Every structure is written in C-alpha cells, then in structure tokens.
Amino acid sequence: MVASAGRPRRAPLGSRGRPWLLERRSWQSGFVPDDIPVTRSVRIPRHEVQVSFSPSGGPGGQHANRSHTRVELRLDLAASTAFGPVQRQRVIERLGPEIRVVVDEHRSQSRNRSLAEQRLVERLREALHVDPPRRATKPTRASKLRRLDSKQRRSDVKQTRRKPGVSDPGL
C-alpha cells in the first residue's frame, strides 16, 4: 500500500477486519467473564474460585524472586452452586471435596492464571464424564467361522512341526 505524503499508513487488518492492535486475548485486555464454562450445563461463578498468588521459587534471579507469578486456584466442590446434586456427588467421589490447581510454568501471572483455569476445567470435565453403558452383543456367524479357521490353521502348523510317525505325543 502506498501512502501519500500527508496521510499516515493504515495498520494491517486482522482476521476480523480490525487493526492488529485491537485483536487481543481476553487475559491481555483485562476482560474476564463472570463464569468459567465447564460443560453446556455447568458454569462455575468466578467468586467461588479462590485465587492466590505467590513467588514461583527456584532459580531465575530478580524476576523469579520478586514477582508473584505462581497461581493457585481452589474450588470447594461441596459448597459450589454450579453443580446439580448428581453432578456434585459424582465430582466429589472422583476428585474429593476440594479441587486445587497450581501453575508456575510461565513468567507471566496472567498466563499462569489462564493455564490454571484450563486445567481446572479439564479436571472437572473428566470427573463429570459418564461412559455410556456397554451393551452385550453376540459374536456374528462370520466371526465364529474366522475363529475356527484360524484355530485349524494353527493346528496344521503344529502338526507339521511333529516328528514323522508320532501320532500322539502324550504317550
């Protein structure tokens, strides 16, 4: 794009027709939704999740020693209003009365916080998942024939390995 002498250049447009500077993730722009969606029927209110920050520790010099980038999320499952009675019972049986997620992988507090929320959601989804009941089925006629055919072929292989003239090796 050629700019004329008195006009400034326009910023390149992003995927939705906005300048790149306007396209930010929610954690970058400061926008935080009121609920954390887990499934279609389960949304955790943010006020129920206790968030605490601390220094991550370990090597890293001034940044690691002075920045509170380690994030710890706690959710009291027994007191949460996000679950129905059956869901609450299932989650408590699988995870216990409280779930705790700790993340200190990144240098950024906001990245660690979003990663901790993702892990919390993943654990809750796994705990809420119900496997469909298994239905007993009968083997088909073709599968029975395949099984008998493979047994016969195996028997023939073993027959060819025997010494000639020996009819019953058990004698």
Report the distance separating Cα 28 and Cα 35, nearest Å.
18
One CATH from 3.30.160.20, 3.40.50.620, 3.40.50.1820, 2.60.40.10 for 35-128:
3.30.160.20
Q: Please list the residues that pair with 51 across neighbouring strands.
A: 73
The arithmetic mean of pLDDT across residues 113-137, rounded, is: 93
At residue 41, the pLDDT reads: 87
Report the distance separating Cα 89 and Cα 78, nearest Å.
9
Four-CA torsion 15, 20, 21, 26, nearest 10 degrees: 40
Q: Is 80 exposed, middle or buried (0-12, 13-18, 19+ CB in 10 A)?
A: buried
The arithmetic mean of pLDDT across residues 56-81, rounded, is: 82
The arithmetic mean of pLDDT across residues 114-119, rounded, is: 93
At residue 69, the pLDDT reads: 87
Per-residue model confidence as pLDDT tens digits over 3-58: 556 665 555 555 555 444 444 444 455 556 688 888 888 899 989 999 999 887 77
Instruction: State the pTM of this model.
Output: 0.61
Identify the CA nearest to 51 among candidates 96, 98, 101, 92. Answer: 101
